[in-house]
Structure 1
Amino acid sequence: MAERRNIDQTAAPVMAAIRHRLRSLYYGSHPRALAFQFSLMMVDLAIIVFFLMGPYLRAGNAYLLVDYVVTVIIALELVARMLVAPSLRYWLGRPMTWVDLFILATLLFPNQLANFAFLRALRIWAISQSRLFSLMLKRRGYSEYEDTIQACVNFLIFLFIVTGFVYSTFFYGEHVGGFIDAMYFTVATVTTTGFGDITLPGPLGKLTSIVTMIIGISLFVRLAQTIVRPPKVTFPCPQCGLRRHDADAVHCKACGYLLNIPDEGS
């Protein structure tokens, strides 16, 4: 019993150190953390490429090997994110946890389930919404275009997610142009052009078209608004706390407080 207590007492600091290290890499802004986060994004892009190349690699002997390597990578990241989470309940409450678990299931049984690895694109969307992304834009001098850039990323990620779903559900492995057909259908549906030369069969196809049109046109309008309207900067109003203002604003639109927004050269 004493031996076991000693082992537990030794393991606890080690586990705490591992968690502290992982949190530093996942949420830090120092060079090593940025390099780690960039590497994760590259891994996500590689997984997406593997998804796109899936139909052409299935005939080869190495397909299952690559499939299970990707499975191990996603599983390890799931464990790492569980360790950095404040609690198990918090980790289970994150939507991306369930997305990754679903992707794992499709990768573990590639012959029985459609490949839904395209959902890893949601990771890129999550990065675009993070404080780190805003900080990177500010360092590059693009902070005033943050809304426009995020609207573009949101729209492109939505197009890719819908295209991936249509491709996996209706066109996967049919012919060489399957992904192109899926993208063509998605763009035609989002823009409400509706050529009608490619349609999705059955109730699932109709529901997919309806959801794509409703969400897609909303994101499209949002993108148009951010491009047309003047760029805004992040500068919290000292009186009311409003964070977004026109770059040349003198007074806060919400409360009229006199602002002193520094320009890029300040």
Structure 2
Amino acid sequence: MDAKTAPRRFSPPHAFHRLRVRLRSLYRGDSPAAVRFRYSVICIDLAIIAFFIAGPMLREQWVFLTLDYAIAAVLGVDLAARALTYPKLSRWLRRPVVWVDIFIWLTLLLPEIFLNLGFLRVARLWTLVHSEFFWRTIGRRYDDTRWEDVAKAGANLVTFVFVATGFVYASFARIHPGIAGYVDALYFTVAALTTTGFGDITLPGTWGRLISIGVMISGITLFVQLAQTLFRPNKVIWPCPSCGLLRHDPDAVHCKACGQLLAIPNKS
């Protein structure tokens, strides 16, 4: 058998390189198969986030740990795959959302150690909506300025609500008679965040008052941020080649900061 007819054999380094190229095409490519793959990953992420939100109510069920370890396996594979799409691991690790995802994965892998920090898993919603992966997929169909800003502001608010709820539940459930379950903690968080202040559930002591103050201040800040995003004039992201101003009116011809002529594409 000569060299031309001999079967091709791939060395482990070559096979590993092909794997990285394939993962990079799926996670970052523009082909229909890559887009379908990313939509599938996003749907799985949303289902996992729903489990994180319902987690405190399912903790006593026998199936909880089974789902917990299954999700840990899925997130572990996803984290490893995303890391392989980067040319250098150090570049991947420099991103703050990566460290949040790694911490969430550790709470799933070691649930007994991180039992009281399980409420932080909801931060997966924040890392998903703020990820380049999410907007490379969703941004193909929606405006990447208006919808992105609104979605990020909304994700910040929703993430805060459920993180604060989980913290109140972990700190006061079965200790304070007003917090008998997760729904009570959610009710208190929303009442404090909106500064409604019904007064039927209040946290005891100085520590409870400080938590209430923090929830109220953070809630007002996040509501204002979301309102500003919803009602401020629409802008497009188009860096000015002269001064670097990033946001401009959709029909702008010149940069309002330096007067540089712009060439913003007009879809109409």
Q: What's the TM-score bracket when you normalise by the shorter of the two chains?
A: 0.7 to 0.9
Inter-CA distance 153–133: structure 2 relative to 1 (3 Å threshold): farther
Residues 47-106 of structure 1: CA distance to partner in whole angstroms, max 9, x if unpaired?
222234435544544333222211211222232233233334344444344333433343
Q: Is the 8 A contact 1:151 1:223 kept in 2?
A: yes
Aligned ranges for residues 158-169 of structure 1 at < 5 Å?
A: 158-169=160-171
Q: Is the 8 A contact 2:235 2:249 kept in 1?
A: yes
Find 2:232's aligned residue among 223, 229, 234.
229
Offset of residue 189 of structure 1 = 3.0
Scaled by the length of structure 1, the TM-score of the pair is 0.75
Secondary structure of 2:248's counterpart equals strand
Aligned ranges for residues 117-156 of structure 1 at < 5 Å?
A: 117-127=121-131, 131-132=135-136, 135-136=139-140, 139-140=141-142, 144-156=146-158
| Number of residue pairs aligned between Structure 1 and Structure 2 | 254
Q: Is the 8 A contact 2:235 2:247 kept in 1?
A: yes
Q: Is the 8 A contact 1:155 1:219 kept in 2?
A: yes
| C-alpha separation in 2, matches of 1:251 and 1:82 | 41
| C-alpha separation in 2, matches of 1:193 and 1:176 | 18
In the alignment, which residue of structure 1 is the partner of 2:39?
38
In the alignment, which residue of structure 2 is the partner of 1:182?
185
| C-alpha separation in 2, matches of 1:146 and 1:94 | 19
Q: Is the 8 A contact 2:42 2:134 kept in 1?
A: no
Q: Is the 8 A contact 1:167 1:178 kept in 2?
A: yes
Which blocks of at least 5 consecutive residues in structure 2 are unaligned?
1-9
Aligned ranges for residues 20-39 of structure 1 at < 5 Å?
A: 20-39=21-40
In the alignment, which residue of structure 1 is the partner of 2:72?
71
Secondary structure of 2:243's counterpart equals coil
| C-alpha separation in 1, matches of 2:58 and 2:238 | 50
Offset of residue 206 of structure 1 = 4.8
Offset of residue 223 of structure 1 = 1.9
| C-alpha separation in 2, matches of 1:91 and 1:129 | 13
| C-alpha separation in 1, matches of 2:209 and 2:126 | 24
Scaled by the length of structure 2, the TM-score of the pair is 0.75
User: What residue identity is the alignment partner of 2:163?
Assistant: I
Hey, which of these two has a bigger chunk of helix by percent? 1
| C-alpha separation in 1, matches of 2:223 and 2:150 | 12
Secondary structure of 1:85's counterpart equals coil
Residues 14-45 of structure 1: CA distance to partner in whole angstroms, max 9, x if unpaired?
11111122222222232222222222222222
Find 2:254's aligned residue among 251, 254, 260.
251
Secondary structure of 1:122's counterpart equals helix
| C-alpha separation in 1, matches of 2:216 and 2:210 | 10
CA RMSD across the alignment? 3.5
In the alignment, which residue of structure 2 is the partner of 1:54?
55
The percent identity for this pair of structures is 48
| C-alpha separation in 1, matches of 2:178 and 2:65 | 21
Which blocks of at least 5 consecutive residues in structure 1 are unaligned?
1-8
2:201 aligned with 1:198, yes or no? yes
User: What residue identity is the alignment partner of 1:38?
Assistant: Y
